[in-house]
Chain A
Amino acid sequence: MKQIESQLKNLRKIRPDKGFALMCREDLLSSTVVKPGIDLWRNLGLSLSLALTAMLVVFVAQNAAVSSYSIASLEKFEEETTLSRDQINITLAEINYHSDLASKTSMALSEAAAEGPSHLNQNLLMKEAESLKIDSAPDNVDILLDQVIL
């Protein structure tokens, strides 16, 4: 076991060619590597983009909320206006009714005051009956009615 391990250590003699090592080193160190500064700018750009997007989303969301709120408010306002209009119409109709009633009552009262309760006067009623000159019903009225009905 130890012998194998020590033999394996002999493989450490393997070394790269000096020419290769030098050329590879020069090539590596001259190759472009993303510098932290550039990366910082890239990160900054990314951060700004994200921030702008977030602001845009918030702005749009707020507008959407305001719009929906506005629409709801308008609908509510319209509903309230309709209700008010109906109430006003009802009130106007009531006013008209009461006004008409008041004028008729007033007229009746004026007449009553001027003529007195003449419609209840027995003499007046008799006079009116006489003025109508209603003849007494003929004797054969029952026969005539029966004929009409039958």
Chain B
Amino acid sequence: MLEDERNLIIRAKGGEAEAFGLLYDEYLPKIYRFVLLKTGHREEAEDLTHQVFLQAWRNIRNYDDRGYPFSSWLYRIAKNLVVDYYRRLRPNVSLEDCRVFPADEVDPETDLDLSRETEKLARAVGKLRDTEQTVVIMRFVDELSIKETAAAIEKSEGAVKLIQHRAIQKLKKLMTEEK
């Protein structure tokens, strides 16, 4: 964690809104991207992202820096909100069975302004299991470290490496099948 970020967190914990605003500026793109890739809908992603930061701001005093980066804390809030979002949509479907990224519903023209190849990859990511998606997005899109990812998904670093390896293998296979 950067020293500046540590100071910002201390100030934000003291109730200084401007300090939290700077943390928001830093993490908004990453959290929004994460939520959008998990939901595939811009409006839903905006609502959920707003909720993530609202929860973070309201509970920032509960954040305790004990080797867990601030980013991991935010991602954990985001992950839980996405889980709640899908539970509300389909309460009887288990989370692991639920394709969190609704690949068939994605319209890249309106939702994601991506190249055709990247669009294909986004669809493939949507076919991964929930935890695999999360790890892929955190590790390769948002460039979180293994440690940060492990803290965010509450698993060991070894488990993250394993999930990551398995997810990449699946993606490779899915991309080959698409061609």
Q: Which residues of A contact B (CB under 8 A)?
A: 1, 4-5, 7-17, 20-21, 24-25, 27-29, 31, 33-37, 39
Residues of A within 8 A of B136 (CB): 8
**Closest-CB distance, A3 to chain B (whole angstroms):** 9
Question: Size class of B's contact patch?
Answer: 35 or more
Residues of B within 8 A of A21 (CB): 28
**Is B103 positioned at the interface, with any CB of A under 8 Å from its CB?**
no
Q: Which residues of B contact A (CB under 8 A)?
A: 13-15, 17-18, 20-21, 24-25, 28-29, 32-33, 36-37, 42, 46, 49-50, 53-54, 57-58, 60-61, 112-115, 117-118, 121-122, 125, 136-137, 140-142, 168, 171-172, 175
Residues of B within 8 A of A10 (CB): 114-115, 117-118, 121
With A13-B113, A14-B36: A7-B118 Cβ-Cβ less than 8 Å = yes
Consensus secondary structure, chain B interface: helix
> In the assembly, what is the distance between CA of A122 and CA of B61, in Å?
127
Q: Is B24 a contact partner of A28 (Cβ separation < 8 A)? A: yes
Residues of B within 8 A of A14 (CB): 29, 32-33, 36-37, 112-114
Given pairs A13-B114, A33-B57, A36-B61, 13 additional interface contacts (CB within 8 A): A1-B172, A8-B140, A10-B114, A10-B121, A11-B114, A11-B137, A14-B113, A15-B29, A16-B28, A25-B21, A28-B50, A34-B61, A36-B13
